[in-house]
């Protein structure tokens, strides 16, 4: 019997195969077998201005004054942003900034806190 991959959500080693899916009995997460063959090197890695790897839920600090497009607001240097979410596209970070609201940032203008 071949070794099955652990659950990507909870890390459980008790996964099982059901048709074209792997299933975790502990958290009920299901994912396609084809996705399990994908390695981390094939997925896009987002890095901050100093080269630290960013992940969903990280806290970052803005390293440059950023003008908010379509507004007179400015995100100042040193502004802390908590609980970021990584997305595809030119601006790779989705977040909420206190006093400004929902925004998208480029990873080159932040550093991991």
**CA angle, 43 as apex, 69 and 37 as ends, to 5°?**
155
Confidence of residue 1 (pLDDT cuts 50, 70, 90): very low
95 and 103 Cβ atoms separated by less than 8 Å: yes
**CA angle, 96 as apex, 91 and 101 as ends, to 5°?**
105
pLDDT value for 89: 87
pLDDT tens for 39-78 read 555 567 899 999 999 999 999 999 999 999 889 999 999 9
pLDDT value for 49: 94
């Amino acid at each position: 019997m071949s070794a099955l991959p652990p659950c990507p959500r909870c890390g459980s080693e008790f996964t099982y195969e059901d048709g074209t899916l792997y299933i975790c009995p502990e958290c009920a997460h299901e994912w396609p077998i084809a996705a399990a063959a994908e390695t981390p090197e094939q997925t896009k890695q987002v890095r901050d201005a100093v080269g630290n790897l960013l992940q969903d839920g990280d806290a970052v600090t803005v390293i440059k004054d950023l003008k908010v497009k379509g507004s007179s607001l400015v995100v100042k240097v040193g502004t802390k942003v908590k609980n970021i979410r990584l997305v595809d596209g030119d601006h790779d970070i989705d977040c909420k900034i206190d006093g400004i609201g929902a925004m998208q940032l480029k990873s080159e203008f932040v550093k991991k806190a």
